[in-house]
Structure 1
Amino acid sequence: MAVNLQKGQKISLEKEAGTGLTRVVMGLGWDVAKKKGFLGFGGGSVEIDLDSSCLLFDDAGQMVDIVWFRQLQSKDGSIKHSGDNRTGAGEGDDEQIAVDLSRIPANVKSLVFTVNSFTGQSFSQVENAFCRLINGGNNQEIARYNLSCQGDHSAQIMAKLYKHNGEWKMHAIGENGQGRTFEQLMPQIRSYL
């Protein structure tokens, strides 16, 4: 049974999954926005390109690697991005980042997941946006976080996976921000390391 995460909530991934986790997938999904036409005519769709990223940090809070649309795999191969979906077309997850927790380098202590509107729209213009964490072993949804909310933000620090006492935990951060890529979020991200 998935946990519907609230902003700031922390969960133990192993307890929620009911077993030790070795593989997790962060899924990002959204729907193509419909353009409103004059008197109902001339509608269509507006291109919205949301991008998911996974930033890897060490104990000192230094970024040691990143997986995003410009680098679809971590240097060690433990994290892989499914590729850039530029429209939100299709059902389910539009982008996925697969993480093999057993292969994460020992110097990596936390993984931060972000979403940015590369095309610049605020999330209030994006329909049915969500992120979710899936047990990669059995494809069961562990946790879900609703991203569609009111506001003029164009980015969000979604969640952090971190190792604590040998166990992977998740912090649903849900902090809104501005920026077309993760770089603009770095000052905010640093406060969670």
Structure 2
Amino acid sequence: MSVSLSKGQKINLEKQGGGALGKVTMGLGWDAIKSKGFLGFGSKSEAVDLDASVVMFDEGNSPVDVIWFRQLRSKDGSVVHTGDNRTGAGDGDDEQINVDLGAVPASVKSLVFTVNSFTGQTFAQVENAYCRLVDASNGQEVARFNLSVQGPHSAQIMAKVYRHNGAWKMHAIGENGNGRTFDDLLPQISAHL
């Protein structure tokens, strides 16, 4: 059963029926902005390029690696981005980041997931934008965050997946921001580490 996330909510990353999650997928989806032409004729779609990113942090809260459209794989291979979607066309997730939590180096304390509007539209303008966390072993959605209702900003610090007492947990941050890439959010992210 999926949990609809709200700002600041924490959830344990455990499978239904017990046991820790080993592999998770962060999915990001959205639709192009549809505009109507004169008297309803000539409607067209405006491309929207949202970008999913994840920043890996060590015990000292320093970034050690970033997975995003310019680097699709972490240096250690534990995190893989499926590629950049620049339009939002198609059904389902438009971008995905796959994380093998068991392969994340012990030196990595947390992973912070962000979403940015590279083309500059605010989430209030983007149709059906969402971010979700999925148990990759069975495709079961663990949590979902609706972005389109979030308001007039162009970025969001979505969630932090972190180690606590030997287990992985997730904190839904849901903090609004502005900027075209994860780099613009780093000062804000530091407050959540």
TM-score interval, normalised by the smaller of the two chains: over 0.9
TM-score normalised by structure 1 residue count = 0.97
Describe the shift of the 1:190–1:138 C-alpha distance in structure 2 as closer, same or farther (beyond 3 A): same
* TM-aligned CA distance change 1:44 to 1:184, over 3 Å: same
Paired residues for 1:4-43 under 5 Å: 4-14=4-14, 18-43=18-43
1:166 equivalent in alignment to 2:166: yes
Q: Aligned with 2:40: secondary structure?
A: coil
Counterpart-to-counterpart distance in 2, 1:4 and 1:82: 24
For 1:188, what is the secondary structure of its paired residue?
Answer: helix
Letter aligned with residue 166 of structure 1: G
Count residues with an aligned counterpart.
193
Q: Does structure 2 conserve the Cα–Cα contact (< 8 Å) formed by 1:48 and 1:119?
A: yes
Displacement of 1:15: 5.9
TM-score, normalised to structure 2's length? 0.97
Amino acid at match of 1:75: K
How far did residue 150 of structure 1 move? 4.7
Residue pair 2:129, 2:147 contacting (<8 A) in 1 also: yes
Percent identity (aligned): 68
Which ranges in structure 2 are unaligned for 5 or more consecutive residues?
A: none
SS at match of 1:7: coil
* Shift, 1:39, TM fit: 1.7
1:141 Cα deviation from its structure 2 partner: 0.6
Quick one: structure 1 residues 119 and 135, their matched pair in 2 at CA, closer, same or farther if it must change by over 3 Å? Answer: same
Structure 1: unaligned runs, 5 residues or longer:
none
Query: Matches of residues 38-117 of structure 1 in structure 2 within 5 Å?
Result: 38-117=38-117
Does the 8 Å contact 2:15/2:135 carry over to 1? Answer: no
Displacement of 1:108 in angstroms is 0.3
Q: CA RMSD in A?
A: 1.1
CA distance in 2, matches of 1:17, 1:130: 26
Asked if 1 retains the 8 angstrom alpha-carbon contact of 2:15 and 2:21, the reply is no
Q: Which position in structure 1 is the counterpart of 2:141?
A: 141
Residue range with higher mean Cα deviation, 26-35 or 147-156: 147-156
